[in-house]
Amino acid sequence: MQQDEGVAAAEPFVVFVMHASVGSGHRSAALAVAEAFEALKASGDERVPSDAEIEVIDILDYGRVPIDGDKTASMFTGPTRPIYDITWRYTLTGRLLWGGGTAWSHIMFGKLTEYVERRKPSVVVCTHITAANAVVGARMLTGQRFPIVCVPTDYEIEGLWPHKETDLFCVATEAMAETLRPRKVPEHKMEITGIPVRGGLGEEYDIAAVRAELGLPLDKTLVLVMAGAHLPQPYVRFRATMDETLSYLKGLPGMHFVFLPGRDEEYAVHLERQREAMSIDNMSILGYVDKMPALMAASDLAICKSGGLTVTECLCARLPMVLLGHSYGQEKANTRMLTSLGVGMHVTTARELLGALRHLHANPSSLHAMLVNGEILRRPNAAFDIADASLRLIGSVDEPKKHFIELYWGGKPAHTR
């Protein structure tokens, strides 16, 4: 049947959830938010039409110059880490602040502007600053009125988010809101939602059944050693420190250590050889695990890096943490937040790690204390809260004004370092 003349076709309802493939955390958070939108659509929520299109976009796919995000992330794990720390923590994060503008769109992300012009999104959620800045410029250049929601995926906020052009910041903690206030972000543009994680975390599981299925003991404190990632480079120091501790694990008979090398088969083989050579009977190596929420729920402690998504997944799974390694940039912010609240312990050397494990082995009540303290940060429904907050903004955004570069002078930072 032909459409009646004079009746315009309805614009499709399109949601962009944007990230940058710099490491895996930003993408994981974006997928969690996209899954929440899809779930709302499937539930019949009238705000999300049945034919709505939810699209997850990697902003690096739209750059003028090809960028390998994973290799870029690895650049900040070697000798350049202190430089990265200074850049992330201090440059433009004090009082000289970035408001937003079209600069990035003109220089690097013209293809995104063209795509926005064609697709006309109803709302955009960004889990990385590059995506946020690029889509702010695209909105200015196309004159569209879709809301832009920014979701930092760590426990502090980098100063290069587009503060004045963001319609809502969904942050993890009240402390992050205290960072935004002197940056002149109004109260109605902040919401404390937590960091989004994918489904399954926070659910109840039959612990005995999970451990039995994976061949893990029921009568011991189960310690996950989270040493796997898409790229091994960020874990080089972490793995080296764990190697130094292997021969001492037998001295902690009340604990059973489960090493998770991820998809890194070479590292898995290395661990198995070490286990056999040292006859470590309280150690297991699991390859890629497709039931991580269940495994985390069945565990008692995690040894991990302080990446935003990793620690949030542990919080949602009610899993106390020992954070291993020197932390820089956003990971330093995460470490300080978690240790200041008594949610985790931080160690940097094998000697410190063994000291922490021996303490926890002798004093299991310390694990319970970290578990209780973690409730202050635990928000397993963050993805749905972000989707809900984003939908509430549709139709409330004025026509954007164009700025090539907008800098402004903020108030005294709430958290000085």
Q: What is the pLDDT of residue 332?
A: 87
Residue 213 pLDDT greater than 80, yes or no: yes
Cα–Cα distance measured from residue 249 to residue 242, given in angstroms and rounded to the nearest whole number: 10
φ, ψ for residue 96 (rounded to 5)?
-85, 115
Residue 42 pLDDT greater than 60, yes or no: yes
Residue 75 pLDDT greater than 60, yes or no: no
Q: Give the residue-averaged pLDDT of 107-112.
A: 94
Sorted by where each starts, the structural domains of the chain and their CATH numbers stand as: 14-197+381-416 (3.40.50.2000), 207-376 (3.40.50.2000)
Give the range among 62-76, 134-148, 361-375 with minimum mean pLDDT. Answer: 62-76
* Confidence at 45, pLDDT banded by 50, 70, 90: very high
Q: What is the pLDDT of residue 230?
A: 54
* Confidence at 91, pLDDT banded by 50, 70, 90: very low
- Contact between residue 104 and residue 129 where contact means Cβ atoms under 8 Å apart: no
Q: Give the residue-averaged pLDDT of 171-193.
A: 95
Q: Give the residue-averaged pLDDT of 326-346.
A: 90
Per-residue model confidence as pLDDT tens digits over 116-153 = 999 999 999 999 999 999 999 999 999 999 999 999 99
Q: What is the pLDDT of residue 159?
A: 83
| CA-closest candidate to residue 28, choices 155, 199, 161, 182 | 199
* H-run or E-run covering 324: strand 321-324
Q: Which amino acid is at 140?
A: M
For a pLDDT cut of 70, what percent of the chain falls above it? 89
Q: What is the pLDDT of residue 3?
A: 47
Task: Give the torsion through C-alpha atoms of 360, 363, 367, 368, to 10 deg.
Answer: 180
Q: Give the residue-averaged pLDDT of 161-188.
A: 95
Residue, of 326 and 67, whose pLDDT is higher: 326
Give the range among 21-25, 190-194, 198-202, 395-399 with minimum mean pLDDT. Answer: 198-202
Maximal CA-CA distance, the chain: 81
- Strands of 30-69 (E only): list them: 53-58
Q: Which amino acid is at 47?
A: R
| CA-closest candidate to residue 15, choices 380, 387, 383, 382 | 387
Token pair belonging to 80: 């350049």
Counting every residue written for the chain, the total comes to: 417
Beta-carbon contacts of residue 410 (< 8 Å; ≥ 6 apart): 94, 95, 96, 97, 182, 183, 184
Residue 50 pLDDT greater than 90, yes or no: yes
Q: What is the pLDDT of residue 231?
A: 53
Angle at 407 between CA 404 and CA 412, to 5 degrees: 165
Q: What is the pLDDT of residue 310?
A: 93
Q: Which amino acid is at 16?
A: F
DSSP secondary structure, 259-303, as one string: EE-TT-HHHHHHHHHHHHHHT-TTEEE--S-S-HHHHHHT-SEEE
Q: Give the residue-averaged pLDDT of 72-93.
A: 56
Q: What is the pLDDT of residue 163?
A: 93
* Confidence at 7, pLDDT banded by 50, 70, 90: very low
* Confidence at 2, pLDDT banded by 50, 70, 90: very low
Strand partners, 324: 347
pLDDT, averaged across the chain: 89
Cα–Cα distance measured from residue 129 to residue 180, given in angstroms and rounded to the nearest whole number: 15
Cα–Cα distance measured from residue 107 to residue 105, given in angstroms and rounded to the nearest whole number: 6
φ, ψ for residue 404 (rounded to 5)?
-75, -50
Q: Give the residue-averaged pLDDT of 330-336.
A: 89
pTM attached to this predicted model: 0.90
Q: What is the pLDDT of residue 331?
A: 86
Q: What is the pLDDT of residue 164?
A: 94
